Amino acid sequence: MSLFLRFKIYAVVFVLTHVAAVTAQGASPTRVLSFEEHTPSELDRRAAIDGVLLLSYARSADVLAGSMARAEEIWRKPKTAALSADERQQVLDIFEQVVAHLVALDAMARFHFNFWRIDPIKEPARHARHFATAFAAYCLKVRLALLLVDRTLNKPQFEILFDDVDSHDL
């Protein structure tokens, strides 16, 4: 099974889990509950699910970093060198995977960054769990973004390629 297919499966499971949690409470699945609307047991369940997803994203990010490293000859091209059609496709595939990871990790981090709403005196473990999940998701997001930016910054062939990508292609 390809890495990208696995990522899509995890994303679908993530969305379905949250839709199920929302509909189980009798709310509309189009409305996502805010952090403070979750019960402590729901927060624990969400943290456990997101912890597993985070480990999966980390492994997937390592594979993605390896893909970037294997394509090093593309990234080292001079600013004036054009990319072949195959190179453009390879770079766009990597870009698409990085963006997909960033979106998922950002959603996870934004949810868990509400850890401050949990009293650290009354519930230190729950407070720490949500902080750790948010921080880990944020750090992984930054790592992936910097891996791509470091390779493409100030290289017009990549900036033009990324600017030309239609939103429906992602």
| Residue type for position 79 | K
Domain boundary assignment for the chain? 38-169
Q: Quick: pLDDT tens for 25-65.
A: 555 555 677 888 888 889 899 999 999 999 999 999 999 99
Burial pattern 106-129, b for ≥16 Cβ within 10 A else e, equals ebbbebbbebeebeeeeeeebbeb
Residue 167 has pLDDT above 50, yes or no: no
Which one has a higher pLDDT value, 9 or 140?
A: 140
- What pLDDT, on the 0 to 100 scale, is given for residue 86? 93
Q: Quick: pLDDT tens for 78-130.
A: 888 889 999 999 999 999 999 999 999 999 999 989 888 888 999 999 989 99
Prediction pTM value: 0.74
Structural contact between residues 88 and 161, judged by C-beta atoms closer than 8 angstroms = yes
DSSP string over 51-115: HHHHHHHHHHHHHHHHHHHHTHHHHTS-TTPPPPHHHHHHHHHHHHHHHHHHHHHHHHHHHHGGG
